[in-house]
Structure 1
Amino acid sequence: MSFEPLLMSRLKDARRVLVAGAGGGFDVYAGLPLALELREAGHEVHLASLSFSHLYGLPGEVWLEPELARITPDTASAERYFPERTLARWLRLHGLPDTVWAFGSVGVKPLRAAYRALVRHLEIDAIVLVDGGTDILMCGDEAGLGTPEEDMASLAAVAGMPEVATRLVACLGFGVDAYHGVNHSLVLENLAALDRDGGYLGAFSLTRQSRSGQLYLDAVEHARAAFPEHPSIVQGSVAAALRGEFGDVRFTDRTNGTALFVNPLMSMYFTVTVEALAARNRYLDRIERTVLMRQISTVIEEFRDELPAQRPPRQFPH
């Protein structure tokens, strides 16, 4: 009997895998353990991120296409907050391939064009979108959606790329999005529905004992030291859970006034297929023609205004 996660089984025949942070900022760090495990298994792995940094001041030579920049440890930028470059510098410290591709924070049409350009350039045959948290799993009718704009731009962009045969989603940080109003009973309800649809690939744990877990902790600490004034709440919470901490763990002043619930579920990956997740989203078709990120926000607001009712939050019964 094999207990290999289905996510890894689906990627077994992929030669070149793109692991991409779906929601911007430090989401790409949630994909780092997967990238390390895939590389150890013999795959060629590339990292990418929808960037929150101001990319337009970057030198011309970094641009492969509009909204797609190749970031290395030496990329010149006036931006202090630059998670992609920070990750590239960490990769170099560990002797790993140190390019992190950065997508502009734009609407679906230009973002899909950038994804297609990167897929062609690198000859990618599998994409794993990674969400730090689980708000990418929201369908749109829930009482709280978290911060959906970037996640939905990435999901819609990749969902419209049938030329890539294997397209998966992995979420790390279950419970973190309560900080942004997500009810996690509804997350579980959505996962059950995806399972009925054949799109849920199960869950598995990142462990501190694994090499990828140890390197992840090191990368998160390296990023925290680079941005002490703005550490990632999501990755900090996952790292705390991975260290075995529990409850209202304090690792940044950014969470003052909010009671955190760090627990072992935060260090688990929940995995689904892009096709099934996109099919269950109730407004994804409406953002197909967006060019700007703010247009996605407007579409989501309009959709929610039309709903006769939202699914109310539910408490865990135990």
Structure 2
Amino acid sequence: MLPLHANPLFTRLADAERILVAGAGGGFDVYSGLPLALSLLHQGRRVHLANLSFSALDGLPLDDWAAPDLAAVTPESAPHQNYFPERTLARWLREHDYPDTVYAFPQTGVLPLRAAYRALIELHGIDAVVLVDGGTDILLRGDEAGLGTPEEDLASVAALAGLDDVPTRLVVSVGFGVDAYHGVNHVQVLENMAALERDGAYLGAFSLSRATREGALYLDAVAHAQQHTADRPSIVNGSIAAAVRGSFGDVRFTERTRGSELFVNPLMSLYFAFDLPGLAARCLYLDRIEDTHLMRQVHSRIAEFRDTTVTRPPRRFPH
């Protein structure tokens, strides 16, 4: 039993020497894991970053591919592309003298994604993986009132759930509340977290603070990304960063949110941590996407599951 001052997430990583921090859901998800990666780097660990990518990876030269469906993105990659979060992060990392390769997975089904993860794990001798979701839809099991955008997140969970030879596999969620704009009922998120606690798969929560070195660097990285991806900045990380700065309510940081009302609040800066196999075991449709090769198969299998599922009615916060 851990003492109160110990953090269960970092305790689970205490014996890991080579750690992969990976964005689960595409876009800028890898940024949501940046403070964790930096903290581990500052402890002297070997840390690698990866992301399920929404970027146009098909145009990368052959030399940029470390393995099938595994691109090694550097600050010099695809200079003609405006939207390339992995390259933007690689450039920020180089500016701050950190290792500056960010691996990227194209959008595929579970089987090729698992093979790409295995290749990356073998390439660097990874002994722990932290899968990070900017948002909370990775915590939904399938019978909720709304699932948000689960396809990429759960493909990533399924891919890693099949890699039993990796000693430590964890899931971290940050940005509580941002998925309300994709139909997620966050009372049901809390209900799922309680069930994961009963299963022994919930590893607690902690806040990202701007008073920490990693918190300050995260704010700098998000501002850098907003500057260099002005047409499509990350709403999720922009919201998290605003919460870390102490902003509240309908905060404006991009024209992409015009016409919607945001609710930035301190809960968005909380990291919730989970055991990945325990989380995967609660997903009601993970077996249906297990043998997929294409992301459109993941979409259709989840849609088929939803067509035959009685969903839990949404609930309002009682206070």
* 1:77 CA displacement: 4.8
Greater shift, 73-82 or 209-218, is seen at 73-82
- Aligned residue in 2 for 1:43: 45
Q: 1:173 touches 1:266 (CA, 8 Å); kept in 2? A: yes
| Aligned counterparts of 1:297 and 1:39: Cα–Cα separation in 2 | 36
Which of 150, 162, 165 does residue 163 from structure 1 map onto? 165
- Within the alignment, does 1:254 sit opposite 2:271 as a pair? no
- Aligned residue in 1 for 2:318: 317
* 1:78 CA displacement: 3.5
Give 3-state SS (helix, strand or coil) of 2:273's partner. Answer: strand
| Aligned counterparts of 2:166 and 2:11: Cα–Cα separation in 1 | 17
| Aligned counterparts of 1:256 and 1:139: Cα–Cα separation in 2 | 31
Which of 172, 181, 202 does residue 179 from structure 1 map onto? 181
* 1:241 CA displacement: 0.3
Give 3-state SS (helix, strand or coil) of 2:19's partner. Answer: strand
- Aligned residue in 1 for 2:8: 6
| Aligned counterparts of 2:280 and 2:50: Cα–Cα separation in 1 | 20
- Output the amino acid matched with 2:103: W
Which of 94, 97, 102 does residue 95 from structure 1 map onto? 97
| Aligned counterparts of 1:86 and 1:161: Cα–Cα separation in 2 | 29
- Aligned residue in 2 for 1:125: 127
Greater shift, 63-72 or 82-91, is seen at 63-72
Matches within 5 A, 1:18-37: 18-37=20-39
- Output the amino acid matched with 1:310: T
| Aligned counterparts of 2:7 and 2:149: Cα–Cα separation in 1 | 28
- Output the amino acid matched with 1:257: G
| Aligned counterparts of 1:78 and 1:280: Cα–Cα separation in 2 | 42
* 1:2 CA displacement: 4.6
| Aligned counterparts of 1:236 and 1:4: Cα–Cα separation in 2 | 29
- Within the alignment, does 1:280 sit opposite 2:287 as a pair? no
Which of 296, 300, 303 does residue 302 from structure 2 map onto? 300
Extract structure 1 runs of 4+ deviating beyond 6 A.
none
* 1:313 CA displacement: 1.2
Structure 1: segments with no counterpart, 5+ residues: none
| Aligned counterparts of 2:249 and 2:102: Cα–Cα separation in 1 | 33
- Output the amino acid matched with 1:276: G
Aligned residues, how many? 317
Q: 1:58 touches 1:77 (CA, 8 Å); kept in 2? A: no
| Aligned counterparts of 2:208 and 2:218: Cα–Cα separation in 1 | 9
* 1:76 CA displacement: 2.8
| Aligned counterparts of 1:128 and 1:237: Cα–Cα separation in 2 | 22
Give 3-state SS (helix, strand or coil) of 2:196's partner. Answer: helix
RMSD (Å) for aligned C-alpha atoms? 0.8
User: What's the TM-score, normalizing by structure 2?
Assistant: 0.98
- Output the amino acid matched with 1:313: P
- Within the alignment, does 1:207 sit opposite 2:209 as a pair? yes
| Aligned counterparts of 1:66 and 1:53: Cα–Cα separation in 2 | 16
Q: 1:185 touches 1:314 (CA, 8 Å); kept in 2? A: yes
Q: 1:57 touches 1:77 (CA, 8 Å); kept in 2? A: no
Give 3-state SS (helix, strand or coil) of 1:56's partner. Answer: helix
| Aligned counterparts of 1:29 and 1:76: Cα–Cα separation in 2 | 19
| Aligned counterparts of 2:95 and 2:263: Cα–Cα separation in 1 | 32
User: What's the TM-score, normalizing by structure 1?
Assistant: 0.98
Matches within 5 A, 1:101-140: 101-140=103-142
**Cα displacement string for residues 218-257 of structure 1 (whole angstroms, at most 9, x for unaligned residues):** 0000000011111100000000000000011111121122
| Aligned counterparts of 1:231 and 1:55: Cα–Cα separation in 2 | 19
* 1:40 CA displacement: 1.2
